[in-house]
Structure 1
Amino acid sequence: MLHLRLITPAGQTEEVVRLIERTVGTTHLVVLPGTARDPVGDLVLCDVAREAADELIAGLRRLGLEDTGSIAVEDIGLSLSRRAEEAEKEAPGEGADAVLWEGLIEATHEESTLSVTYLAFITLATMIAACGVVLDNAILIVGAMAVGPEFGPLAGISAALVRRRPRLAWRSLLALLVGFAVAMALTSAFSLLMDATGLFSEDRLEGARPNTGFIYAPDWFSFVVAVLAGVAGILSLTSAKSGALVGVAISVTTVPAAANAAVALAYGDTSQTSGSTVQLLLNLLGIVLAGTLTLLAQKHFWERRLKRS
């Protein structure tokens, strides 16, 4: 279940209440007249089954409530109510299969904004991966994958393509390209600094690397894994099962490939640089393609289910 907190102008409250009452899967409706101060208006509270939330939120937006008042949505961790159980049964489909599009757009918007924090995370992840590359240490590679924030912009591009949001697509693409460019440039400088202190060496990079050699040797398995990870990542976002995102992060070699390219570039190794770059591009393409197709499939099957109900 989801909880909605709405601030409505006094003259619009009845219309909002009627919309909530008409929406199957809503319950626990509360109206508190005149309690809102900024903006001035009435406070309307209700709970709605996840599978019915997207329709209700879309209706509220059509009423212009986001401009005249406020729409706030939050997950309910625990709800002990027979009426809530009945509301979930009345709503069509299963909550885990429903896509809360506005929630997805908002989440990807936040995760795909080019900010100092985003640049810090992707740069630190790439530097950690650089250490893993030179030391041939798989644990450092996995740790760097988990730290990297690049799935947010990738999901943002997929969501923008499906929902036709050019601004979100541009913002996500900018964060992705600038983020990796800055991270790789700083990691190349970091590699030269580590080399000057004797902690990195070209011999280590060029030597036998049984644990990390695959990073600069892309093949079809790289693309297949990226596609599978893209599907899993989008499903974890749309079903609100964010714990699966960690598994997605450590299954694709985006950050390690960027790190290997940066270190190899610092040493002038064009072969590893090009191989790692191809690996990076294959992973990015696979995730975006899979994410877009997954969202289109979810949209199609959910619309069919609503028509049958």
Structure 2
Amino acid sequence: MLHLRVICPPELTEHVLALLKDARGATHLTLHRGAALVPAGDVVEADVARECTNSLLDALGDLGVEREGGVTLEAIDTTLSVAARRAQEAAPGEADDAVIWEELVARTGEESRLTWTFAAFLVLAVLIAAVGVVTDSPVTVVGAMAVGPEFGPLAAIAVNLVRRRPELVGRAAVAVGVGFPLAMVATLLGALLAEAAGLVTAQSLEGADKVDFIYQVGPFSFVVALLAGTAGMLSLVSSKSAALVGVFISVTTVPAAGYAVVAATLGRWDRAGESALQLLVNLVGITVAATAVLAVLHRHRARARDRSPAEVD
């Protein structure tokens, strides 16, 4: 369940209370009159089932609560309550299948910006991948996959394509379009220093047969990217963080960037080109699959809302 807190002006309080009292998946309803200072107003709180959260947020938006006050959602880890159990049973659908669109937009929006933190993680991930390439270490390559933060902006692109927010799509695209070249330039400098120190030679790639999968592009490269994008978006909408980690270590994005740089510095332009193609295939595949998943869920929600506006999950 989720904890819902609403700050609203006194003239809207009774409407908010009536809305939450009538909601099938809401319970533990409390009211604190005059408790809010900025913005001033009353505070209404309730615990709500995930399945009915979207419809409640839509109704609160129709009341103008966002303009006059505010709405906050927090996840509840443990609830010991018969009333809460009854509310969950009364809510339509299953909690794991419920998509809270505003939560999804907020989560992906936070990760869609080109920040120093995002750039630093991507640089570190590509550098680790490059080390894995020259040492022929699949374990190191997998570690680089787990460090890479690239799924955040890719998910943001998918979310905002479905919600038709081109300006946010552009912002997320900039994070990917600038982040990867920046990480590859940093890795290029590191590779050149390693070569100058004699740590990397032309033979480094010849014997690296355990990481050949990085640059070998084939039909399954795109298939895996599609499957990973689907799994990643499903993990986001259902808050399954463990599954999201699995997505990070299943796609060859960061390793391909690292391999392309190392291969280019050693004059292996064929492998550098194939690695770059691998990177592009994976980025496109993930984005296409994530967008398709959200489009299906969005259409399902629209149809359910047309049938019964009060029971949209």
TM-score (ref. length: structure 2): 0.94
Secondary structure of the structure 2 residue equivalent to 1:93: coil
Residue of structure 2 in register with 1:296 after alignment: 295
In 1: Cα distance, 2:22 partner to 2:168 partner: 32
Counterpart of 1:243 in 2: which secondary structure?
helix
Determine the structure 1 residue equivalent to 2:34: 34
SS at match of 2:74: strand
1:115-170 per-residue CA deviation (whole Å, 9 max, x = no partner) reads 00000000000000000011110011000000000000111111111111222211
- Alignment-derived partner of residue 48 in structure 1: 48
Q: Tell me the equivalent position of 1:84.
A: 84
| Cα distance in 2 between the residues matched to 1:240 and 1:305 | 22
- The residue type equivalent to 2:259 in the other structure is N
- Corresponding residue number in structure 2 for 1:240: 239
- Alpha-carbon separation, structure 1, partners of 2:114 and 2:21: 40
Name the structure 2 match of 1:269: 268
Q: Does 1:96 align with 2:100?
A: no
Matches of 1:88 and 1:303 in 2, distance apart? Answer: 22
TM-score, with length taken from structure 1 = 0.96
Asked whether 1:181 is paired with 2:212, we answer: no
For the residues of structure 1 that align with 2:134 and 2:93, how far apart are their CA atoms? 50
Deviation at 1:303, TM superposition (A): 4.5
Letter matched to residue 214 of structure 2: I
Whether the 8 Å CA contact 1:98–1:302 is kept in 2: the answer is no
Q: Distance in 2 between matches of 1:15 and 1:263?
A: 63
Structure 2 Cα separation of the partners of residues 16 and 196 of structure 1: 68
1:61 shift after superposition? 2.2
Residues 260-279 of structure 1 deviation map (CA, whole Å, 9 limit, x = unaligned): 11222223332112101110
Q: Which runs of 5+ in 1 are unaligned?
A: none
Q: Is the 8 A contact 1:93 1:305 kept in 2?
A: no
SS of the residue aligned with 2:200? coil
Alpha-carbon separation, structure 2, partners of 1:305 and 1:160: 21
What RMSD over aligned residues (CA atoms) do the two structures have, in Å?
A: 1.5
More divergent stretch after superposition (22-31 vs 129-138): 22-31
Cα displacement (A) at 1:294: 1.0
Per-residue CA distance 1:222-252 (angstroms, 9 max, x = gap): 1111111111111110011111111100000
C-alpha distance in 2 between matches for 1:156 and 1:127: 25
| 1:304 CA drift (Å) | 4.6
Q: Aligned letter for 2:231?
A: A
Using the aligned pairs only, state the percent identity: 49
Give CA deviations for 1:14-36 in whole Å, capped at 9, x if unaligned. Answer: 22222222332111111100011
Q: Are the counterparts in 2 of residues 122 and 150 from structure 1 also a CA contact under 8 Å? A: yes
Secondary structure, counterpart of 2:114 in structure 1: coil
Provide, for residues 83-114 of structure 1, a one-character-per-residue CA deviation record: whole Å limited to 9, x for no partner: 11111121111111111100011000011111
State the shift of 1:45 in Å.
0.4
1:1-309 maps to which residues of 2 (within 5 A)? 1-205=1-205, 207-304=206-303, 307=307
1:221 maps to amino acid: F
Q: Which runs of 5 or more structure 2 residues have no equivalent in the other structure?
A: none
What CA distance in whole angstroms lies between the structure 2 residues aligned with 1:188 and 1:21?
61
